Amino acid sequence: MLQLILGGARSGKSRLAEKLASDSCLAVTYIATSQPLDGEMNERVAHHRARRPAEWALIEEPVQLARILRETASADRCLLVDCLTLWMTNLLMLDDTKRLSAERDALLDCLASLPGEIIFVSNETGMGVVPLGELTRRYVDEAGWLHQALAERCQRVVLTVAGLPLTLKGTAL
């Protein structure tokens, strides 16, 4: 089963995804996409780390998400990917301008063949004002296109607001 959990900053999306992973009764591998490059991000990573069960496996991969999913997915495992917008940011910041589309296409192409349960977490950024800068507008556009493509492929899509899940597609929580 593929699930997409969307929400704004501090909406409860990661906490919900972690609960769903725990409730799956499968072995869990947490795939972290962040690159903690400053003190504030280090604090966020530490907060997420402290909240996760010790028995969960951890893979840190900022760029090659499709490769990690293909190598790690199995029928007896739940993969929790947190978060897609950080992954996309990592790709946007690379000097290789074609890498984002190549990695996004690889991700979307591999989803149908992946066994087990996979939960994606991502920031819904397109509900606010249109950003002034070209890079930030591209970020919002790319995130929106990625979310639409993933939502088509996922069996469940949930929007989380104020810690409350609103099921947009699939079985209600």
pLDDT tens-place string over residues 81-137: 999 999 999 999 999 989 999 999 999 999 999 999 999 999 999 887 878 899 999
Short-list 51, 57, 108, 60, CA closest to 82:
60
Domain-located, residue 52: yes
Domain-located, residue 173: no
- Write out the catalytic residue numbers: 48
Q: What is the CATH number of the domain that holds 157?
A: 3.40.50.300
Task: Report the greatest alpha carbon distance in the chain.
Answer: 45
Please count the structural domains in the chain.
1
Domain-located, residue 44: yes
Token pair, residue 18, equals 């972690």
Quote the CA–CA distance of 48 and 77 in Å, as a whole number: 20
Quote the CA–CA distance of 67 and 44 in Å, as a whole number: 25
Domain-located, residue 67: yes
List the domain range (segments joined by +) for residue 127.
2-168
Q: What is the pLDDT of residues 20-51, one digit of tens each?
A: 999 999 999 999 998 877 777 778 777 778 88
What pTM was computed for the model?
A: 0.94
